């Protein structure tokens, strides 16, 4: 069973819409869960049209587990570990936890397959998981081994006390060399598989700084500018950096979902969005010690930076 406490940012939303975002599942799947009695609000069954209010607790009963259809993925590199938590370097292409369309072959499967105990508080499908990275985003992810660590990390994220720094490349030249983007994010009303800046969305804040501007020529010899960015998350909405940069007209390079220039991506040698969780800093939720972890760019993104003439401006820890 997983529990989700409703805060002000979710207030007034329909139960099926809110749960679709929280569970990263389709609304039809969530509606089926509600109809099947798998969802309660403060211990009572309600309909999918129920409008949630601050302070309510939504509980979701997880389906009975089934045997994985394929072997667990290889365990990713561990950047930090102690008795309470670990930080892994997730490779691109690995989904973090089971969900709609991804029943197995996830990071959770890799961790459990390696014999790592994970905090039950995350729920049956998401043990130990406190934040996520998109499938094609590489980099650092903290995972809780104990419920005490899980609760502390969730609270630290809520209070914005976890520093998450990403390296990104964006098409074009950003409007300002550094800025704070504050724009609410929700499901794109025209495409439910995407997210967008929408007035009814949840609060989302991203800071960026331009590290350098490069250029690459497509197959027709037409040059295109790209910007290497250091991004810091204040909130952690799904696809947040991708959506915020796309809203400026500067989508993450290689991100076809948000209409990045496909020919420019080919010129850079990109097979995925140029987005990497490069640094994670927080106070340990149990010991209080400062935890600071960095992860260098993987080879494919470093090659793209080189192709754009931007390798010289990469941070030292990249």
**How many domains would you assign to the chain?**
3
Residues labelled catalytic:
134
Question: What CATH number is attached to the domain comprising 30?
Answer: 3.10.290.10
The CA–CA distances, whole Å, from 123 to 119, 144, 198, 292 equal 8, 12, 30, 27
Tokens in use for 209?
């700084």
pLDDT in tens, the chain (318 residues): 678 888 877 888 899 888 887 877 777 778 888 988 889 999 899 999 999 999 899 988 865 444 445 678 889 999 999 999 999 999 999 998 776 555 567 999 999 999 999 999 888 778 999 999 999 999 999 999 999 999 999 999 999 999 999 999 999 999 999 999 999 999 998 887 899 999 999 999 999 999 999 999 988 888 899 999 999 999 999 999 999 999 999 999 999 999 999 999 999 999 999 999 999 999 999 999 999 999 999 999 999 999 999 999 999 887
Q: What is the pLDDT of residue 99?
A: 62
Same domain membership, residue 129 and residue 26: no
Q: What is the pLDDT of residue 70?
A: 64
The CA–CA distances, whole Å, from 199 to 136, 154, 238 equal 27, 26, 16
**Final residue of a structural domain among 158, 183, 214:** 158
Same domain membership, residue 154 and residue 203: no
Q: What is the pLDDT of residue 35?
A: 87
Q: What is the pLDDT of residue 65?
A: 45
Same domain membership, residue 185 and residue 234: yes
Give residue for tokens 């989302």: 204
293's enclosing H/E stretch is strand 290-294
Q: What is the pLDDT of residue 216?
A: 94
pTM of the predicted protein model = 0.80
Q: What is the pLDDT of residue 67?
A: 47
Same domain membership, residue 87 and residue 47: no
71 lies in some domain: no
Question: What CATH number is attached to the domain comprising 300?
Answer: 3.30.2350.10
80 CA to centre of own chain: 19
Q: What is the pLDDT of residue 62?
A: 65
The CA–CA distances, whole Å, from 74 to 15, 78, 81, 110, 205 equal 36, 12, 17, 6, 34
What domain range includes position 280?
Answer: 163-313
247 lies in some domain: yes
């Amino acid at each position: 069973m997983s529990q989700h406490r409703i805060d002000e940012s979710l207030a007034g939303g329909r139960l099926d819409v809110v749960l679709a975002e929280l569970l990263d599942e389709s609304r039809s799947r969530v509606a089926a869960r509600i109809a099947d009695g798998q969802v309660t609000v403060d211990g009572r069954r309600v309909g999918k049209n129920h409008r949630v209010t601050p302070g309510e607790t939504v509980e979701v009963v997880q389906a009975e587990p089934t045997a994985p259809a394929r072997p667990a993925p290889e365990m990713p590199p561990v950047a930090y570990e102690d008795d309470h938590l670990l930080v892994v370097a997730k490779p691109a292409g690995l989904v973090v936890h089971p969900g709609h369309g991804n029943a197995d072959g996830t990071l959770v499967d890799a961790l459990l397959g390696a014999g790592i105990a994970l905090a039950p508080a995350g729920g049956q499908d998401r043990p130990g998981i406190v934040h996520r990275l998109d499938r094609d985003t590489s980099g650092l992810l903290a995972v809780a081994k104990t419920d005490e660590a899980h609760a502390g990390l969730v609270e630290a994220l809520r209070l914005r006390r976890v520093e998450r720094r990403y390296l990104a490349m964006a098409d074009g030249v950003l409007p300002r060399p550094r800025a704070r983007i504050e724009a609410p994010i929700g499901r794109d009303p025209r495409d439910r598989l995407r997210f967008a800046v929408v007035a009814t969305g949840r609060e989302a804040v991203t800071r960026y700084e331009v590290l350098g501007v490069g250029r690459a020529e497509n197959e027709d010899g037409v040059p295109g500018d790209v910007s290497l960015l250091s991004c810091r998350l204040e909130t952690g909405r799904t696809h947040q950096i991708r959506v915020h940069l796309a809203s400026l007209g500067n989508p993450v390079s290689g991100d076809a979902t948000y209409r990045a220039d496909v020919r420019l991506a080919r010129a850079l040698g990109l097979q995925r969005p140029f987005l990497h969780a490069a640094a994670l800093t927080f106070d340990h939720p149990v010991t209080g010690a400062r935890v600071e972890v960095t992860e260098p760019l993987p080879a494919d993104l470093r090659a793209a930076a080189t192709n754009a003439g931007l390798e010289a401006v990469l941070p030292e820890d990249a």
